[in-house]
């Protein structure tokens, strides 16, 4: 029967189940009393809803006195960590795989460096599949795997996870998601690594509580993820956010994408390392060494940090003017440069920023380099968080 608002009783029940499960997933164990106040429902309704989630083996309940006081015990609704997903971050230099329980805790993790010549999709699918199977085998038969989420540094089609273009992996028009799902015989969801980084920082990191969010991370390239009104800004096909390929210098150099003067040709790990006279490919530890050398007075290192900081500010200036965010979260090399040369980045931003700079909060990613990995876990959890009643039956 429809309610006076036009929403059926079943639809309302599903919405309330979803709200309870999302709350305990993102905030951890939560009392029934808190859920009652938050959702505006009576205690008996909350009890019935949490009972249904228990029957679906998604939550359990614990009884304890509130704050150790005597009196009526509090029913604590706890996400069951035997509901798991496997999160994967396919980076340029490594693959990271994590087993994540409902509630967001990382239960196990594996990292594997790419070998030279192993960026082709067949090698990556095989390596990822082996790592996924390994963490699930170690977890044992008592866990219920709800799916696999993957972060990829490239343009990923939202509707099916088709990788349109991942230049730093050398991928063009690659059905990666279908290939991995077939290999694992499990549901797989794939997203752009920066989009998933933005999601993770919004749910569990530096952007909690904000609705207008920019997440930027630089390693070999630069990725950008955006939230508008608290929702992902994806574009018509899911390709929005390729800020690394926005032109900032008409004089060059030529980018891997074929254009001239893209932002990622001015900012990134290998750019900074080359400017400082180091070999490329050292990753964050090599960037940290250059920054420390600059602080110690090495002229070439200091000039390299200053130049990259300047271009960092130029790019941020355009992004702030274009998107008017509440918060900008920086990851990877951008975060390292920001920490080392915040004043110079701010100076470059202030040269022609049309919007008030003081209104924008700039923060380093709270989840560090794991933002895309944690975001991949949230992507995999999304179907059951969106519809708890559709969860696979517990074995």
Above 50 in pLDDT, residue 2? no
Q: How far apart are CA 317 and CA 242, in angstroms?
A: 16
- Please report which confidence band the pLDDT of residue 71 belongs to, taking 50, 70 and 90 as the band edges: low
Nearest Cα residue to 336 out of 298, 278, 287 = 287
CB 363 within 8 Å of CB 327? yes
Structure tokens at 36: 């009652």
Which residues lie across from 287 on neighbouring strands? none
- Please report which confidence band the pLDDT of residue 1 belongs to, taking 50, 70 and 90 as the band edges: very low
Q: Average of pLDDT values for 46-67? A: 87
What strands lie across the sheet with 222-228, from one edge to the other? 231-232, 222-228, 213-218, 327-331, 361-364
Structure tokens at 141: 């038969």
Which of 59-68, 77-86, 153-162, 239-248 reaches the highest mean pLDDT? 77-86
Above 70 in pLDDT, residue 331? yes
CB 87 within 8 Å of CB 373? yes
Of 6-15, 180-189, 198-207, 337-346, least confident by mean pLDDT is 6-15
Nearest Cα residue to 181 out of 102, 86, 83, 101 = 86
CB 221 within 8 Å of CB 239? no
What strands lie across the sheet with 59-64, from one edge to the other? 30-31, 74-79, 59-64
Q: What is the pLDDT of residue 340?
A: 95
Instruction: Count CB atoms within 10 A of the CB of residue 2.
Output: 11
Place of tokens 């980045």: 345
Q: How far apart are CA 205 and CA 209, in angstroms?
A: 10
Please work out, in degrees rounded to the nearest 5, the angle formed at the alpha carbon of residue 283 by the alpha carbons of 282 and 287.
90
- Please report which confidence band the pLDDT of residue 108 belongs to, taking 50, 70 and 90 as the band edges: very high
pLDDT over 90 percentage in the chain: 72
Under DSSP, the state recorded for 45 is: H
| Cis peptide upstream of residue 262 (ω within 30 degrees of 0) | no
Q: Average of pLDDT values for 181-203? A: 96
């Amino acid at each position: 029967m429809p309610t006076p608002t036009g929403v059926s009783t079943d639809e309302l029940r599903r919405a309330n189940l979803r709200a309870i499960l999302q709350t305990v997933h993102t905030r951890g164990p939560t009392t029934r009393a808190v859920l009652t106040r938050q959702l505006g429902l009576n205690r008996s309704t909350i009890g019935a809803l949490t009972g249904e989630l228990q029957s679906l083996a998604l939550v359990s309940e614990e009884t304890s006195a509130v704050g150790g006081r005597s009196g009526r015990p509090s029913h604590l609704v706890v996400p069951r960590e035997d509901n798991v997903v496997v999160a994967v971050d396919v980076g340029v230099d490594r693959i990271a795989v994590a087993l994540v329980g409902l509630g967001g805790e990382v239960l196990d993790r594996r990292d594997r460096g790419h070998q030279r010549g192993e960026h082709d999709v067949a090698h990556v699918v095989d390596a990822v599949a082996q790592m996924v199977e390994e963490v699930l085998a170690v977890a044992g038969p008592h866990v219920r795997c709800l799916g696999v989420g993957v972060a990829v540094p490239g343009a990923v089609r939202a509707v099916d996870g088709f990788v349109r273009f991942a230049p730093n992996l050398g991928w063009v028009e690659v059905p990666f998601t279908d290939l991995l799902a077939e290999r694992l015989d499990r549901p797989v969801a794939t997203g752009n690594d920066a989009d998933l980084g933005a999601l993770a920082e919004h749910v569990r990191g530096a952007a909690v509580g904000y609705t207008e969010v920019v997440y930027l991370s630089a390693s070999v390239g630069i990725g950008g993820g955006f939230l508008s009104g608290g929702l992902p800004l994806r574009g018509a096909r899911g390709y929005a956010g390729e800020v690394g390929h926005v032109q900032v210098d008409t004089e060059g150099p030529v980018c891997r994408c074929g254009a001239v003067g893209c932002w990622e040709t001015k900012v990134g790990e290998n750019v900074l390392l080359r400017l400082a006279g180091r070999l490329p490919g050292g990753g964050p530890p090599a960037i940290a060494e250059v920054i420390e050398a600059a602080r110690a007075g090495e002229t070439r290192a200091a000039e390299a940090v200053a130049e990259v900081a300047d271009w960092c500010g130029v790019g941020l200036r355009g992004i702030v003017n274009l998107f008017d965010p509440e918060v900008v979260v920086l990851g990877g090399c951008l975060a390292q440069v920001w920490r080392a040369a915040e004043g110079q980045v701010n100076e470059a931003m202030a040269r022609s920023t049309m919007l008030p700079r003081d209104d924008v909060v700039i923060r380093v990613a709270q989840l560090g380099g794991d933002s895309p990995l944690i975001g991949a876990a949230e992507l995999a959890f999304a179907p059951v968080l969106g519809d708890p009643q559709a969860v696979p039956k517990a074995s």
